[in-house]
Each structure stands twice: as structure tokens, then as C-alpha cells.
Amino acid sequence: MDPVITPWQDELTGGEHSLIYYSLVIAGLALLAQFARTWTTRTEIGARYRPSAIAGLCITGIAALSYVVLVIKFDLGYDRGSDGMWIPNDDALWSWAPRYMDWSVTVPLLMIELIAVSALVGATARRVRAVSIACAFLMIFTGYLGGVVIAEGTSLTALWTWGAISGLFMVALYVIVICTVLVSTGSMPAEAARSYRGAMVLLLVVWFAYPIAFGLQGFAAGGARSTVMQVVLSFADIAAKVGFGALIHKVAKVRTADDVRTGVDRHPEAVWLSSVKLADAVLPPLAGPAETSQRRGRR
């Protein structure tokens, strides 16, 4: 069986090199913008759902840093030839491999973000979260083994074998995501339920783009193949981390406002969505003299 030509072995034209550079920078900037947005708006979400904002910050922060590495290694990984082509060197691999390292952390965090605004609580939430984190990590790690580690990504057998194993974990994640959303939407306000279903559909569709893109590693060669893969993966990351995160943030805000309106929880500031007030601020009750004395005594 002929060895696979990996995408980091492909020579690039000037246009292909420029387009990949563009997609990497755009993805990094979009992730950085979402990180800033989540950081500045994290207090809009009640304590019950705030783990989703923390997970979102970790996702976009880690991913933005990984794109810094990708851009630097892409810049260093190709040398301009006398004929105008960009020739890969030993650093070219590292304009690809850091994606797996990013995903090994951020995909499990996506599951934490999803579950944090769900209707799952207590032992059920902990159990589903643990299983989904394990499946997410193993999905990425097994794909990394076949795509990069074994025979340095040149074995078609390894690509198929480990790709199939990775696919099994991916199917398990699909089941977990769908079941979590279906179980949860019935107890949510209508607007939150619509956004939650939208987040599910977006995630499941975008996730499917990754194996398709990496499937090109075993069935094509040339700069056009590498360009398509890099561009698709960059914009898929934007959709899976920025788009999904924005929808989950909306669900968390709507659920926070619903908890305040129904008296389940308090929130020290008004909850707004698209310039519409969803709930007024509700401050905790002031401590009376007796309670204040008790607190001082406990100190």
C-alpha cells in the first residue's frame, strides 16, 4: 500500500499560502473577540449557570493561544522557493499538530459548557459530564494517533483504523448531546429551548466537518488539498467555539432571568438580551441586627 502524503508535505502556491494565513489569523482573532465578550459579560449570568461562562472563557482562551502557535509555525514552516512556490520544512508539521492539542482540551470543555445550562443536576449531571469528557478526549486522542503519531501520518491503515475508533467515540458524543438537549428543553423557557436546540444542531453539523476535512489526508494530495483542509478547520473552529458559545451564553441569560422572575434565584443586576429587559435586579435581603451580631460572633 502506497504511503500517504501528509498535508504538511504539500507545496503551496503564493495564493494558497496567503489564503491559509488569512484563515488562521481570522480564526484566532474571532476566538479572541469571543473571549473578551464572555469575560466582560460573565456577571450577566447567574451563579447556577456561570460554569458555562467559565468553560467558554477556557475554550476561547486556549483556542486563541493555539492559533498563535499555528500562525507562528505556519510562518516558519514554509520557505519561499525560486519558482514562487512555498516549500514545507520540518516546522510545517506544527502548523497542523497543535490543533489536536487544542481540541484535546476544548472539546471536553464544550461538553461541560453544554451540560452547565442543561436540566441535568446532581449525580446525573456529574455522571453524564464525566462520560462525555472521556469520550471527547478519546475521540481526539485516537484521531491524533492515526493522523500524526503512527508512521508520522503516512499510514493509510492507521488512518482508517484509528479514524474508525475515533468515530465510535464521536457517535457516543452525538448520542449524549442529543439526549441532554431533548431532556432539558422541556423545562426551559421557549426562547432558551430554541437557542439550546440551535446550539445542538450547530455543534453536530460542524463536528461532522472535521472527519470530512481530515479524510482528505488519505485521498488527495497537493496544495489545494491542504488549503481546503486548513480553511475548513479554521472556520469550523469559529462556528464550534464562537457560534456555539454565543448560543449557550444566550441560554444561560434567559434561564437566569427566568429563575429571577420565578423567585428561584436572585441576581444583583438586571438581565438584558438584545436591549430587552428580561428581569429586574433582585438583591439579597439585608441582614438584620441580630443576624449581623451572630456573624460577628462567629468571626
Asked, for residue 130, whether it belongs to a domain, the answer is: yes
User: Which range of residues forms the domain containing residue 264?
Assistant: 7-298
Instruction: Kindly list the distances between the CA atom of residue 108 and the CA atoms of 4, 57, 278, in Å, as whole numbers in the listed order.
Output: 30, 13, 31
- How confident is residue 258, by pLDDT bands cut at 50, 70 and 90? very high
Angle at 53 between CA 66 and CA 39, to 5 degrees: 70
Query: pTM of the predicted model, to two decimals?
Result: 0.91
pLDDT tens digits, 116-128? 999 999 999 999 9
- Give the type of residue at 292: T
Number of domains in the chain: 1
Asked, for residue 133, whether it belongs to a domain, the answer is: yes
Selected residue with higher pLDDT from 288 and 273: 273
Asked, for residue 1, whether it belongs to a domain, the answer is: no
Selected residue with higher pLDDT from 294 and 63: 63
According to DSSP, the residues that pair with 86 across neighbouring strands are: 12, 80
Asked, for residue 2, whether it belongs to a domain, the answer is: no
* Residue 4 pLDDT greater than 70, yes or no: yes
**At residue 282, what are phi and psi to the nearest 5 degrees?**
-130, 110
CATH code for the domain in which residue 153 is found: 1.20.1070.10
Asked, for residue 128, whether it belongs to a domain, the answer is: yes
pLDDT tens digits, 126-178? 999 999 999 999 999 999 999 999 999 889 899 999 999 999 999 999 999 99
Asked, for residue 13, whether it belongs to a domain, the answer is: yes
- How confident is residue 284, by pLDDT bands cut at 50, 70 and 90? confident
Asked, for residue 192, whether it belongs to a domain, the answer is: yes
What is the mean predicted confidence (pLDDT) over 223-246? 95
